[in-house]
Amino acid sequence: MTAASTPIATATTATGAGTARFRRLGAGWLGFTPFALYVLLFLAVPTVYAVASGFFTDAGAFTFANLAAFANPVIVTDMVNSFWVSAVVALVGAVVGALICFALLGAKPTGMLRTVVDSASSVLAQFGGIMLAFAFIALIGLQGVLTLTLKQTFGFDINANGPLLYQVSGLVFPYLYFSIPLMVITFMPAIEGMQHQWAEAAATLGASRATYWWRVAFPILAPAFWGSTILLFANAFSSFATAAALIDQGGIMPLAIKQQLTSETIVGVSNTAGVLALGMLVVMVIVMAAYSMLQRRARRWQR
């Protein structure tokens, strides 16, 4: 104990004797400390711990054997499912969200419509998990309001080819529910950043409206658009609770991880969850790196 406290005391003295600039920097870091600690305790440490667990056997010996999970056709299918569901959700969500943003350009920035859509998007983008799953069960589940209405008034059964909502492809519906508003939130600032002068300048130089969009506006918006799309992908890829409430039979990566952790029929596989988490982490790191790169490009036009 005493040995540890001595260097700290020295450090304090050193800071105290520092220049004003140094002290200000120190104070700045001090203000950052609670957040840094929070991230460390609740993000960094658990992540390292979870991933590291994948490299040990049940008995605690180091091993690479758990990596064999990635050769398991079941896991591969789960990975592929996770991928395509997230990709479909990201693309559809991005296009629909972008269209809403374009439509909103016609509304007054401080007007009622914009305010309502803005705040509604912020709220709905956060609406997920079990609550959302149950909302969809109530709407298009087997006994859902819409399901029964369609059946009774038009004789049309949306579940004719098996339960629509309770399969991997059914996840697209609830996922889109929170993805579209998220697109509106992230893409709107880019569209708002478009300057009138650009269109005017293009028109002065003889560009048609279409040429302006094609040669000026789209290239400027592209990084922001793809960046937001990637964000939607990442968001859908890591969703768990909604899927768990709708399809209990697995089929996507987060559910596969749950299966490895809590199985009571196949025991002693909990460490495999660690390498599966590693797999997801690799995907997320790639995706988020691409996101931040695109964001940096997009910001050039928003200054």
Q: Which residues bind another protein (CB under 8 A)?
A: 72-74, 77-78, 137, 141-143, 159, 161-163, 166-167, 245-251, 255, 258-259, 261-270
The least distance separating another protein from the CB of residue 275, rounded to whole angstroms, comes to 16
202 with 217: CB under 8 angstroms?
A: no
Question: Which residue stretches of 43-128 are H helix?
Answer: 45-53, 73-105, 112-124
- The one-letter code for the residue type at 205 is L
The least distance separating another protein from the CB of residue 234, rounded to whole angstroms, comes to 24
- Euclidean distance between CA atoms 278 and 288, whole angstroms: 15
If you search the block for the tokens 């196949």, which residue do you land on? 266
3-state secondary structure of 163: coil
Residue 164 or 234 having the CB closest to another protein: 164
Residue 258 or 297 having the CB closest to another protein: 258
The least distance separating another protein from the CB of residue 80, rounded to whole angstroms, comes to 12
The least distance separating another protein from the CB of residue 249, rounded to whole angstroms, comes to 4
3-state secondary structure of 285: helix
Question: Which residue stretches of the chain are H helix?
Answer: 2-16, 20-39, 45-53, 73-105, 112-124, 129-140, 145-149, 172-192, 196-204, 209-211, 218-237, 241-246, 253-262, 272-299
Residue 166 or 213 having the CB closest to another protein: 166
Residue 54 or 251 having the CB closest to another protein: 251
Residue 197 or 265 having the CB closest to another protein: 265
The least distance separating another protein from the CB of residue 42, rounded to whole angstroms, comes to 16
